[in-house]
Each structure stands twice: as C-alpha cells, then as structure tokens.
Amino acid sequence: MCLDATVDNAMNAIARHLLGFLITTLLVVTLASVAKAQCPAMPQLGSPTVNVQVLTPKLVYHHDVDLFGLPKVEKSAERPPQGSILLGLTKLADGIVVVPHYVALPRPGGIYCVWLKKVDASIGIPVMDVYVASEYEPGSCEYNVILNHENTHVRFNLETMNEWAPTIQAALTESANRLFPAVFYKDPKRDNAVAQYLFENAKSTFLLMQQEMAKRNASIDTPQNYRRENAKCNHWSRHGFKLDQTN
C-alpha cells in the first residue's frame, strides 16, 4: 500500500516472449523430426503424466522495516511511482518450479535421446512475506488499514495461481507430449536442460498468469482506493511525510 501506485504493463514482455515462442516452435519441429529419425522406440513408456501443485505459503508478517526500508524490498506486489510513500507491501508468489522425470540414452555422435516419464510442477513460493511499516503500531487504525490492504494482495496472488493452475498443467502436458522424445546435443543433466526445454514452450501461458495477477493487484492500487483507505484513519503522518487526500 502506498500513496499512489502504478503496475508495469506486461504486454511488451509477453509480446517478446511470444516471438521467442514462435522461433522456439520452429526449432522444436526440426528437433522432433531429428528425434524420430535417431531415437529408438521406447514402448514401455506411455504418455507422461503432468502434475501441477499450487503451494500454500506460510504467511510471515513483518513489522521491523520502516518507511525508508520498504522501497528496498524486492519483488513485491506493489509498483509505486517514484516519490510515492510505501506503507506496506506483499511479496509476489508467482514462481514456478518444473521437475521432469526422464530417461536419457546416449547415442552415436555425442547426442542424447530423452523420453519423459513424468513432470511435477509447483506454482508459488513456500513463504510469502507481508510488510507493514514499523512506524504504525499494531492494533492502530492505520496499521489495520494497511494490513487489510496487504492481505487483499495475498488473496489475489493465491486466487490467480489456483485459477490458472489447470491451464498451466494443460500447457505443460501439451509440451510434454509434443516435444518428446527429444534430442539434446549435450548431457541433459547439465543446466537443468530438460526442464528449461519443456517450460520454454509453456512460458507464454505462465506469463499470461503473471499479467492477470498484476491486473488484480493494480485494481486496489489506484489513487481513488488509496484515498478511500486513507480517509478511514487520521494519524498517517510520520517523519514529516503526509498523505495528501485531496489529489
């Protein structure tokens, strides 16, 4: 929560990633043809199963960071403009971990044929940090307004991930079935290569989820909403900062 806030527009980033997705798709078609030509059949392996879990984070509330320290906290749900006063913030929970289980077979020429057996993915983070500026005493009107605001961000983050989990699972399932068997030109255990290859072709869906999360968080980070929330209490001023409720 802050005096004013804006949320970065994610459309340019999504457009760049969609272009990368199209280029990657062309490469995948080529690699799939190579895989069919160079990789033997593995009849004992059926279609890979894909499991997607949304983590239920432990909520940790912080009251030990002041108004000067809050802007230094990284990766929050708030994107205030320069000069705004942050009163509280919530860390985003939009991470994803993809763990593929696979069989890798070395082949002549230094290549590896890879077949997927199963994919386990998790969305979110184990711990979600929520901050209320230390200048506001727990139990005070100001503290409660900030806390309620941040808890709404928590709810938006969790609701968005749960709603998008089936779509992300479908995207990973489509990639798992379409892209494998696959040929890798180095040991697939290096650089988490199989997970990156699998997720790259589902990344656009994940980015759309992030965009939706940003839009929901932005819906309560408007000047009009801040004025409504600030009007509920009378003692906001700290360090000479004043929340102007007339603009």
* CA–CA separation, 25 and 94 (whole Å): 25
* 52 has a pLDDT exceeding 50: yes
Place of tokens 């307004």: 145
Residue 40: Cβ within 10 Å count: 10
If we measure between CA atoms, which residue out of 209, 196, 211 comes closest to residue 24? 196
Residue 212 has pLDDT above 80, yes or no: yes
Q: Is 70 exposed, middle or buried (0-12, 13-18, 19+ CB in 10 A)?
A: buried
Of residues 14 and 205, more confidence is placed in 205
Q: Tokens for 71?
A: 């802007």
* Rounded Cα–Cα distance for residues 218 and 5 (Å): 8
* 109-118 mean pLDDT: 88
Share the mean pLDDT of the chain: 80
Longest Cα–Cα distance in the chain: 75
pTM equals 0.76
Contacts of 164 (CB under 8 A, 6+ apart): 123, 205, 208, 209, 212
Amino acid identity for residue 50 in this structure: V
Q: Per residue in 71-107, pLDDT tens?
A: 888 777 676 655 567 899 998 888 899 999 999 888 8
Q: Which residue's entry shows tokens 């009251």? A: 63
* Residue percentage of the chain with pLDDT more than 90: 43
Q: What is the pLDDT of residue 7?
A: 35
Which tokens sit at 212? Answer: 């939706």
Tokens describing residue 75: 């990766």
